[in-house]
């Protein structure tokens, strides 16, 4: 059994080096999430920009006045 452990220990290789520091990976991920968060934030309250969605309809019907009837 000790021979097996010796063979496994001898075949263990060094990990491949990273091409940039680990904190740089975290910084890139943070920047991507910040940009995506800004995109989501920019679409806030979009539904209330249109008067037909907020109750300012002149159609007089309960379905929003679009006339589809379903």
Give the predicted TM-score (pTM) of the model: 0.49
From first to last of its 70 residues, the chain has per-residue pLDDT tens of 778 777 767 666 777 888 999 999 999 999 999 999 999 999 988 878 776 655 555 555 555 556 666 6
Contact 48, 54 (CB under 8 A): yes
According to the model, what pLDDT value does residue 53 have? 59
According to the model, what pLDDT value does residue 34 have? 98
According to the model, what pLDDT value does residue 55 have? 59
């Amino acid at each position: 059994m000790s021979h097996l452990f010796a063979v496994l220990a001898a075949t263990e290789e060094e990990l491949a080096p990273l091409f940039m520091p680990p904190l740089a990976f975290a910084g890139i991920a943070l920047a991507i999430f910040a940009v995506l968060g800004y995109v989501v934030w920019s679409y806030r309250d979009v539904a209330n920009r249109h008067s037909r969605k907020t109750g300012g309809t002149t159609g007089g019907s309960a379905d929003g006045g679009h006339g589809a009837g379903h």
